[in-house]
Structures are given as structure tokens and as C-alpha cells.
A and B are shown apart, each in its own frame.
Chain A
Amino acid sequence: MYDAIASNKRKTYLLIFLFFIFIVFLGYILGSLYSNPVFGLSIAFIISFVYILFSLFAGDSVILTLNSAKPADRQHYPHLVNTVEGLAIAAGIPTPKIYVIDDTAINAFATGRDPKHAAVTVTTGTLQRLKRDELEGVLAHELSHIKNYDIRYMLVVVMMVGITLVLSDFLLRSLWMRGGGRDDSKGNAILIVIGLALAILAPIAVRLIQLAVSRQREYLADASGAMLTRYPQGLANALKKIRDDKEPLIEAADRSTAHLYIENPLAKTRKKLSSVWSTHPDVNLRIQRLEKM
């Protein structure tokens, strides 16, 4: 368990570093296109620095706002608050902030920078449709994400995915505009090719990272969640309910935040495209593993 935490922290720093290099390089290329590489480089340097800090310190609020989550108070959601508090005690972490999303689908996610700055969010549908021990299973899974520092890694991934998509788009457009120019020198042509390749490959690479990171993590969080409740069947039953749900789509969720949820909120829109292109392991496999514990 502690190995998983250390490895998560290491990977987070590596990812941030790679992202930093990527943006600075992108800035250099963009600058060169407008025949001012140093300017592009320094702007990119500053922007990526600010953006990384922003991601780490305000990323969770961005995600919560994007998913239209509202704070849950003890008065209106006593059971939810009590359950989260109890599980936080079991996990030995401070009680995270608690949010709800007004949506009939069953789903939940956790986000934040570390266990001291974390938030757990559930849909109102989850509260209405899950039984006591099922809700406990779901929340234990989310608290395990917090405890294992998955949230920090996933937070960085979400923010990087978002900005990479925007930047690639921007780069493609710039190249398109420049394509009409008359006096492209040879050096510029090479830069354009590299830029094109980057603009096309970066989103794919980022997407693959996003996928690879989350599937392994889900199994781990299932297992450590079961360690908290000592009742794996609770989460297994909850997952069955989600699987058999006729309308699992969360209206507020979009592709950049999909892997945060306990079960992929977009899954039913794209039928059974499992394996490489899914953020979550097959739900039946997860249920099977839980029932074997």
C-alpha cells in the first residue's frame, strides 16, 4: 500500500515534468513560426509554470465546478456526512469535503491535492438508490483514492489532458494559417512537420496515459475500499446496480473528467468499447474480484 502511494507521488512529478517540457517545446515551435523562438519559449515557460501551480491548487475547484457539484451539509445529508466521517476514521485520514451532484444516475468521484485537501462527490441518485452498505462500499472506494494519492495524480492528468487538447488545437490552427504563407524557408518546413506531428500525437499520448493510469488504480481502490468496510459485497452490489442501470450517463460529465468517477459515466454512449480505450476495467471483472475476496 505504501509502495503504491510512493509510486503515485513519483509518477505525478514525472508527469508534471514531461508536461512542462512539452509546453515549453510547443512554445518554441509556435514562436519559431512567428520568427521569434525566444519569445515563444519564455512565454510558454511562464504559462506552464503558472498553469501547473494553478492545477495543483485550484484544479479540484475547477473539476467540482465543471461537474456542477454543490457542498453537502450535515443538515440535509446527515447520513452521507456520517458515513464519510466514519470511513475517514477507518482510513486514518482527515474527513474530506463532501459534495453532491443533482443527477439521478448512480456515480461518485474524489478529487484534491492530498488527503488534507480532498473532496468526495456523489450524485443524489446514489444517495436515493443505494442501500446503506452499498453506499458505504462506494464511498470507501473513493476514500481509498484519496488515501492512495490517486487524486493528486488524476487531478494533474485531468488538467494536462484539458490544456493539451486546447494547445494542440491552437497549434494546428496556427500551422493552417501559416500554410498559406509564401516565403517558408527550409528550417520552417521542418518545424511545421514536427509541430504537426506533435499536434496530432500529443492528444493521443495524453489520452493513453489517462487510460493506463486509471484502470489499475480502480482495482487497487476496490481492494483497499474493501479493507475499510470489511464487506466487499457492499461495493459489488453497488456496481451491479450501476451496471444494470438503464440511464447511467451523467449529463454534467465530459471526457476529460471521465476517469475520476467510480464507474465510467460515458460508457453506455459508446457501447462495449472495452480494453484499451476504456478508463475503467470491465465492471463484471471488478464485481468478480470483489466477490472472491
Chain B
Amino acid sequence: MALLWILLIIVAVFVLYFILAYNRLVSYKHRINNAWSQIDVQLKRRYDLIPNLINTVKGYVKHEKETLKELTDARTRLMGGSLADKAKASNQVTDALKTIFAVAENYPNLKASDNFKMLQEELSGTESKIAYARQFYNDNVLSLNQSLESFPTNIVGNFFGFKPREYFKVSEAETKHIKVDF
């Protein structure tokens, strides 16, 4: 009789652990998906803001055709492709934007324009939102992948077919500072 009880308790503990582990994996999955859609929203927003910026800058800047073209090209690559492609294009846009804002320093009239100031604030805001969304995304991917590899959560993960996720990579220059100051 006592043996039966002990067995029952062991089974109950086992089942309880199974449930908890499963729920944890599910919540990681949801957070990752949510973070990914946040990244997507912000990438889209930046995609929409860039033509405005180019139009504003064009009027003031005469000799920076190359820089503007770089930005336009990077922007085109932004929408579509795999996660890795997107991450790469996003980093290129970030670099191109940095160049443009650095160039703008040489054009006092441009810097003083209200439209430009507004776009600069919006774009840098979007830029840091992308960085933050990416941070949240990568943190949760880390947690998920870690649990999927460690024992005994890996058994639960395998049983329900959880797959490790891909990180949203950051460009070399950015790894030190998450923040983007234009």
C-alpha cells in the first residue's frame, strides 16, 4: 500500500514537472513570436520613413548622391528574404542612416529644418525600438534554446516538437553599444 502511494507521488511529481516545463516553453515561444512581430513593425515603420528623409535631404544636399543611393538600396533589401537577410539589410540601413546624419552636420540649413529634425527624432526612435525589440527577441531565443538543450527539459521539448530558433544578428560595430545616437 505504502509502495503504491510512493509510486503515485513520484508519477504526480513527474507529471507536474512535465506541465510546468511545457508551459515555460510555450511562453518563450509566444514571447519570441511577439518580439518578432515588434521587430517587423519597427522595420516597416523605418522603411516608410526613409523616402521622406531622402526627399527632405535631397533639397539641401547636392554632392551626396552616393550616400543617398546606398540608403535607397539598403532599404529595398529590407523587405523580404530570410531572417538573416533581413538582419543584414537592417544593419546596412542603420549604417547608411548614420552616414546621412553625420553628413547633415555640414549643412546648417538642413539641420535647422523642422521636417529634418522631426524625421531625425522619429528615425532614431525607431532605430532604438528595433534594437530593443531585437534584444527582447534574442533574450527569449537564448532562454528557449538553452532549455531545449538542457536536461530534462529537452525531453519535454522533443516530445512536443519544439525547435530551437535563430538569433537576430547584430552588426560588428553595434555589438558594443545597443543604443544608437545620431
Tell me which of B38, B133, B179, B181 has the highest count of chain A C-beta atoms within 10 A of its own C-beta: B179
The reply to whether the CB of B169 lies closer than 8 angstroms to some CB of chain A is: no
Tell me which of B35, B38, B132, B133 has the highest count of chain A C-beta atoms within 10 A of its own C-beta: B132
Q: Is the Cβ of A82 less than 8 Å from the Cβ of B178? A: no
Cβ contact of A230, chosen from B34, B129, B135, B181, cutoff 8 A = B135
Q: Is the interface of B mostly helix, strand, loop or mixed?
A: helix
Q: Which residues of A contact B34 (CB under 8 A)?
A: 92
Q: Mark A27-59, 1 if CB is under 8 A from B, else 0.
A: 000000000000000000000000000000000
The reply to whether the CB of B136 lies closer than 8 angstroms to some CB of chain A is: yes
Q: How far is the CB of A134 from chain B (nearest CB, A)?
A: 11
Q: Mark B8-45, 1 if CB is under 8 A from A, else 0.
A: 00000000000000000000000100110010000000
Q: How far is the CB of A144 from chain B (nearest CB, A)?
A: 14
Q: How far is the CB of A273 from chain B (nearest CB, A)?
A: 37
Q: How far is the CB of A81 from chain B (nearest CB, A)?
A: 8
* Segment of B53-61, B68-76, B99-107, B117-125 engaged in the interface with chain A: B117-125
Q: Is the Cβ of A78 less than 8 Å from the Cβ of B181? A: no
The reply to whether the CB of B128 lies closer than 8 angstroms to some CB of chain A is: yes
Q: How far is the CB of B86 from chain A (nearest CB, A)?
A: 17
Q: Which residues of B contact A228 (CB under 8 A)?
A: 132
Q: Is the Cβ of A82 less than 8 Å from the Cβ of B132? A: no
Q: Is the Cβ of B178 less than 8 Å from the Cβ of A230? A: yes
If A78-B118, A92-B34 touch, whether A86 touches B178 (CB-CB below 8 Å) is no
If A133-B179, A230-B178 touch, whether A83 touches B125 (CB-CB below 8 Å) is yes
Q: Is the Cβ of B179 less than 8 Å from the Cβ of A90? A: no
Q: How far is the CB of B98 from chain A (nearest CB, A)?
A: 15
Alpha-carbon separation in the docked complex, A186 to B31 (Å): 65
The reply to whether the CB of A89 lies closer than 8 angstroms to some CB of chain B is: yes
Please count how many residues in chain A sit with their CB below 8 Å of the partner chain's CB atoms: 19
Q: Which residues of A contact B31 (CB under 8 A)?
A: 92
Q: Is the Cβ of A229 less than 8 Å from the Cβ of B121? A: no
Q: Which residues of B contact A132 (CB under 8 A)?
A: 179, 181
Alpha-carbon separation in the docked complex, A58 to B126 (Å): 33
If A136-B179, A230-B178 touch, whether A82 touches B135 (CB-CB below 8 Å) is no
Q: Mark A221-240, 1 if CB is under 8 A from B, else 0.
A: 00000001111000000000
Alpha-carbon separation in the docked complex, A90 to B131 (Å): 8
Kindly identify, within residues 57 to 88 of chain A, every residue whose CB is under 8 Å from any CB belonging to chain B. Answer: 78-79, 81-83, 85-87
Kindly identify, within residues 87 to 104 of chain A, every residue whose CB is under 8 Å from any CB belonging to chain B. Answer: 87, 89-92
Alpha-carbon separation in the docked complex, A90 to B122 (Å): 18
Q: Is the interface of A mostly helix, strand, loop or mixed?
A: helix
Alpha-carbon separation in the docked complex, A229 to B129 (Å): 11
Q: Is the Cβ of A229 less than 8 Å from the Cβ of B133? A: no
Alpha-carbon separation in the docked complex, A81 to B129 (Å): 11
Q: Is the Cβ of B121 less than 8 Å from the Cβ of A78? A: yes
Q: How far is the CB of A72 from chain B (nearest CB, A)?
A: 14
Q: Which residues of A contact B128 (CB under 8 A)?
A: 82-83, 86
Q: Mark A191-214, 1 if CB is under 8 A from B, else 0.
A: 000000000000000000000000
Q: Is the Cβ of B129 less than 8 Å from the Cβ of A82? A: yes
Alpha-carbon separation in the docked complex, A229 to B135 (Å): 9
Q: How far is the CB of A236 from chain B (nearest CB, A)?
A: 15
Q: Is the Cβ of A89 less than 8 Å from the Cβ of B132? A: yes
Q: Which residues of B contact A82 (CB under 8 A)?
A: 121-122, 124-126, 128-129
Q: Is the Cβ of A85 less than 8 Å from the Cβ of B129? A: yes
Q: Is the Cβ of A89 less than 8 Å from the Cβ of B122? A: no
Q: Is the Cβ of B125 less than 8 Å from the Cβ of A90? A: no
Q: How far is the CB of A27 from chain B (nearest CB, A)?
A: 44
The 6 closest A-B pairs by CB, nearest first: A82-B125, A90-B132, A86-B129, A89-B132, A86-B128, A86-B132
A sample of 6 inter-chain contacts (CB < 8 A) reads A79-B121, A79-B125, A86-B125, A89-B136, A90-B132, A231-B177
